[in-house]
Amino acid sequence: MNKHVLALLFVTLVWGATFPVLKLATAHLNGVEISALRFIIAAVCMAPWALRAPLRTWMDGAMLGALVLVSYVAQAYGLEFISSNRSAFLTSLNVLMVPLLGVVFGNRLSWRTLAAAMLACTGIGLMSWDGGAHLMADAATVVGALAYAAYVILLSQRAGRHSARELAATQIVWMALLGTALMVVAALGTDRLSTLMARAEGDVVAGLLYLGVVATAGMMFLQAMAQRHVPADKAALVYAMEPVFAALAAWLWLGELLTLTAAFGAAMVVVAVVLSEWNSGQP
């Protein structure tokens, strides 16, 4: 295994570890607040590169950043009501959604992708028999996965036009600005803003620093550099390990366990994700 694949595996490990961190943070902050604060921290880290970015990078960064913001806010909202294990496996569907959305852009849908979609739907159905089902939270998490799939497709189209570091920096700054605006609007008529500092302390601050500095700013840099040397289909297989790492982290940190039925369904989702990308260049 070469160093670039190992780098992407490390990125996936860090992403997987964000699920229990997010789950703990939702005890004090809502999904919009977590996302806004996370991106503000990341934007401070990325500011030197953002300041050097040309206007065309800022324009593409706005579109891409908005999609990622939708994805992260939806995911964080879902985690207020469902387990981090369940969220991780539903979020993993974004890897499967990429080829499905590709049909809209004129790509041919292979039998392998269709079979993987059916397998994933069956797996999610089995997971839904678990007591952790929550209609709105599950739906929000799937919407977040869909938004991230759209982001992956558009990023592949736009990344070659810009410096990877500057594009990542502008995306994060836009996410911080939009996330902050959304947080202010969502807090109107409530005491959410006046109590924000009191609620964001101790372990919550440590979690936000991890999410902002490591999982967002650091991993976007590492991902941009490593994926220059790893084909997209191979990278997608590496990313399919995210729910596995998330389940491991949730077990170690939160003591979360999957029921046998839910575990079988989750395994089917992982198999579907891998199947959809295995030799994806072939019909």
Residues 232-274 have pLDDT tens digits of 656 666 776 777 777 778 777 777 776 787 778 778 877 876 7
User: Length of the chain in residues, anyone?
Assistant: 283
Instruction: Tell me the one-letter amino acid at 44.
Output: V
Instruction: Give the CB-side neighbour count of residue 45, counting CA atoms within 13 A.
Output: 23
Interhelix angle 260-277/242-254, nearest 10 degrees: 150
Q: Around Cβ 187, how many Cβ atoms within 10 Å?
A: 17
Distance CA 8, CA 227 (A): 8
Residue that the structure tokens 């700013």 belong to: 217
Closest CA to 236 of 204, 270, 186: 270
Interhelix angle 84-91/135-158, nearest 10 degrees: 40
Residue that the structure tokens 């961190």 belong to: 21
Write down the pTM of the prediction: 0.77
Low-confidence ranges of the chain (pLDDT < 50): 280-283
pLDDT at 5: 80
pLDDT at 40: 95
Q: Is the dihedral of CA 73, 74, 80, 82 positive or negative?
A: negative
Closest CA to 147 of 114, 112, 98, 104: 98
pLDDT at 103: 74
User: Chain-centre distance of CA 110, in angstroms?
Assistant: 25
